Structure 1
Amino acid sequence: MTLFDLRLQEIHNKLRSKELSVSDLVDEAFGKINEREDRVKAYLTLDEEQARSTAKKLDDKLASNEPKGLLFGLPAGIKDNIVTEGLRTTCASQFLSNYNPIYDATVVTKLKQAESVTIGKLNMDEFAMGGSTENSSFYPTRNPWNLDYVPGGSSGGSAAAVAAGEAYFTLGSDTGGSIRQPASYCGVVGLKPTYGLVSRFGLVAFASSLDQIGPITKNVEDAAYVLQAIAGYDKMDSTSANIEIPDYISALTGDIRGLRIAVPKEYMGEGVDPAVKESVMASLRVLESLGAEWEEVSLPHTEYAVAAYYLLASSEASSNLARFDGVRYGVRADNPDNLLDLYHKSRSQGFGSEVKRRIMLGTYALSSGYYDAYYLKAQKVRTLIKRDFDEVFAKYDIIVGPTAPTTAFRIGSQVDNPLTMYLNDILTIPVSLAGVPALSVPCGFAEGLPVGLQIIGKPFDESTILRVAHAFEANTEHHKQRPNL
């Protein structure tokens, strides 16, 4: 048992009673990093000096009666596509290997206001494009449950750091499943909030209509606390939703009697590993025993989701990544012949193969003569997928299914087959296209690797999915198991 196995409330009680200091928590994080990081490789940049300085200031505050922040003293890791003032932010790309931002993302400002301690920046697939963290231009992250396997992606570093005990909680970003899928692979809790609930200001954009920041934690209660700290309207983000933020923590009542659950047959069909399916069925039996009822439903346009997503996301990526030209920031090619040559060489040298693939696909889909045939048609499919969810949510409270069709796969086994890699997100992508919230919670193991249960809610109804996940967690033991490192 480590300090990070304690619930947030337990840690705060120990801090108040002086059994524990913030410096002890930071020592725990860096102790685990020193012991495990050479094998896991979750971090790209560590900020030990600043972390210890912040811990000392918070320890001084412990002696006073001043009010304490919601995440007081908790060591946190930040995905490396969320900008941090004065702390290198690379998006795991050679293009930004020398980029030190001059401002904080809104979520980072909110974490500082909640008085958490930033440990460092976490590895990811380059510009969040990938599902295994093998597309990082620095090195792949490894799954703490089996170091020969991927941790998922693109927030693979964020999930692996929590699973390995190298941070109390982390922030990731989710475009098509990049919080939920690695959370499933690493046996932790990952929450993708409703699009617009958490500010995207300071998140380096991949696909602006899909990107959303969310927490990765060891348990559901901690996810509620982190979401409480980072949610809310931000005038700096034009897509931020100006709504009242409920009390997510008080929603964790454990009572789900009478709850109506929809289970899409498309999420339990061909391609879903039998062991994963069995874990999900066992989870439904647990929810049933707590008074919920479930029925099979259909989300008929699910089969078109992956194709629509990769057209839309790649199109938005080709537009968003046009700013990386070797002129304003980031790496610049040496000795170009002219301005066009500078663009060409800088982008050729700075971007990895997956990023180039998606820029090319997106530019093609947006080009004259193909826009209507591809991009516009994909937008229409997105509307149909959103309509599927609306129709189901008219009758049911939540949707439940597997987070990913399989458990984690071996490093190197799929990296040369982009299509197979893209299909790993088949169960998370529809949720992102519809803009609704979803959470992955550990629900079992298959051949020693974790399985995730995906709980999907109505727009801005994070309270219900947190309540259901918390009730499930309270009646199972999966989330208490830890990898043997």
Structure 2
Amino acid sequence: MAGVRAGFSTDLGGRLNVEPEVRAVVDATATVFTDLGATVDDACIDLLDAAEVFFTQRAYDFAAWYGPSLHARPESFRDFVAWNIEVGLGLTVDDLLSKDAARVRLAVAVDDFFTDHDALVTATSQVLPFDASWDYPRSINGVPQEDYLDWMRAATLISSTGCPAVSVPAGFARPAGVPDAPELPVGIQIIGAPGRDVEVLRVAHAVEAATGHGRRHPDL
């Protein structure tokens, strides 16, 4: 990985609320990059417009795909899915125009970042794996999650960029206050410039080979 220039931002420039156990594992992975010869700094894509792009586009797509079905069979949809469809049905022309302008600004920010970086590294998920019976975590670090999408911003903000991204095992951590709990997996997300999918996979392979975290769980 010699010569790779990586921005390392576990919380995407303060835009993510990340559990301390996850942050500790992700932050520690920066050393893996430097040990492999990469140059690491704390730079991040300017994601100011990413949330608007994702939220509006997703709502529009949900309305286009599922709007008629929601009206015909509302009982078939879970509340948070129905909510997202309804948001899309309520979008105005001004909302769509604003989203398109935000997408252009975001594309410029992506280009600016990858002018002098080869990769951006962040958390894959802001939380440790949670009970499968939950719809989603209702709070992170005591901060209520306003909707189903709020807890997955590590993924949604990057989705807005159109950049290739891959998740790689980064280590393991126990939930806070549960010393006897098994260690749970934590991942890092490696993002590259649009069209640089192969380079992203090469970086991911180098990290996984160096750590060996993808081969076995410490409690097995």
TM-score between both structures, scaled by the size of structure 2: 0.81
1 or 2 for the larger relative contact order (CA 8 Å, sep ≥6)? 2
- The one-letter code of the counterpart of 1:428 is A
- Computed over aligned residues only, the root mean square deviation of the Cα atoms, in angstroms, reads 2.6
Inter-CA distance 349–275: structure 2 relative to 1 (3 Å threshold) = closer
1:438 aligned onto 2:165: yes
Write the distance in 2 (CA, Å) between the matches of 1:362 and 1:451.
Answer: 33
Write the distance in 2 (CA, Å) between the matches of 1:406 and 1:268.
Answer: 17
Deviations 1:361-391 (A, max 9, x none): 00101xxxx320x222122222222222111
Paired residue for 2:54?
A: 309
Paired residue for 1:480?
A: 215
Q: Which moved more, 1:355-364 or 1:380-389?
A: 380-389
1:258 aligned onto 2:3: yes
Specify which of 77, 81, 94 is matched with residue 351 of structure 1. Answer: 77
Given that 2:22 and 2:126 are in contact with CA atoms closer than 8 Å, whether structure 1 keeps it comes out as yes
Aligned-residue identity in percent:
29
- The one-letter code of the counterpart of 1:463 is V
Deviations 1:295-339 (A, max 9, x none): 11143334x4334312221112101224648xxxxxxxxxxxxxx
Deviations 1:24-69 (A, max 9, x none): xxxxxxxxxxxxxxxxxxxxxxxxxxxxxxxxxxxxxxxxxxxxxx
Measured after TM superposition, the shift of residue 474 of structure 1 is: 1.1
Paired residue for 1:391?
A: 112
1:294 aligned onto 2:15: no
Count of residues paired in the alignment: 205
Given that 2:173 and 2:186 are in contact with CA atoms closer than 8 Å, whether structure 1 keeps it comes out as yes
1:409 aligned onto 2:130: yes
- The one-letter code of the counterpart of 2:215 is K
Write the distance in 2 (CA, Å) between the matches of 1:470 and 1:402.
Answer: 17
- The one-letter code of the counterpart of 1:472 is V
Specify which of 81, 90, 93 is matched with residue 371 of structure 1. Answer: 93
5 Å-filtered alignment, 1:227-266, equals: 256-264=1-9, 266=11
Deviations 1:326-353 (A, max 9, x none): xxxxxxxxxxxxxxxxxx4x32233332
Write the distance in 1 (CA, Å) between the matches of 2:27 and 2:137.
Answer: 31
- The one-letter code of the counterpart of 1:457 is G
Given that 1:265 and 1:298 are in contact with CA atoms closer than 8 Å, whether structure 2 keeps it comes out as no
Given that 1:386 and 1:433 are in contact with CA atoms closer than 8 Å, whether structure 2 keeps it comes out as no
Measured after TM superposition, the shift of residue 415 of structure 1 is: 6.6
- The one-letter code of the counterpart of 2:189 is Q
Paired residue for 1:285?
A: 31
Given that 2:5 and 2:119 are in contact with CA atoms closer than 8 Å, whether structure 1 keeps it comes out as yes
Write the distance in 1 (CA, Å) between the matches of 2:90 and 2:162.
Answer: 25
| 3-state SS of paired residue (2:153) | coil
| 3-state SS of paired residue (1:267) | coil
Given that 2:13 and 2:44 are in contact with CA atoms closer than 8 Å, whether structure 1 keeps it comes out as no
Unaligned runs of 5+ in 1: 1-255, 326-343
Write the distance in 2 (CA, Å) between the matches of 1:279 and 1:482.
Answer: 15
Inter-CA distance 382–419: structure 2 relative to 1 (3 Å threshold) = farther
Write the distance in 2 (CA, Å) between the matches of 1:480 and 1:277.
Answer: 22
| 3-state SS of paired residue (1:434) | coil
Paired residue for 1:320?
A: 65
- The one-letter code of the counterpart of 1:395 is D
Write the distance in 2 (CA, Å) between the matches of 1:405 and 1:415.
Answer: 10
Given that 2:170 and 2:213 are in contact with CA atoms closer than 8 Å, whether structure 1 keeps it comes out as yes
- The one-letter code of the counterpart of 2:206 is A
1:362 aligned onto 2:107: no
TM-score between both structures, scaled by the size of structure 1: 0.39
Unaligned runs of 5+ in 2: 139-143, 175-182
Deviations 1:120-161 (A, max 9, x none): xxxxxxxxxxxxxxxxxxxxxxxxxxxxxxxxxxxxxxxxxx
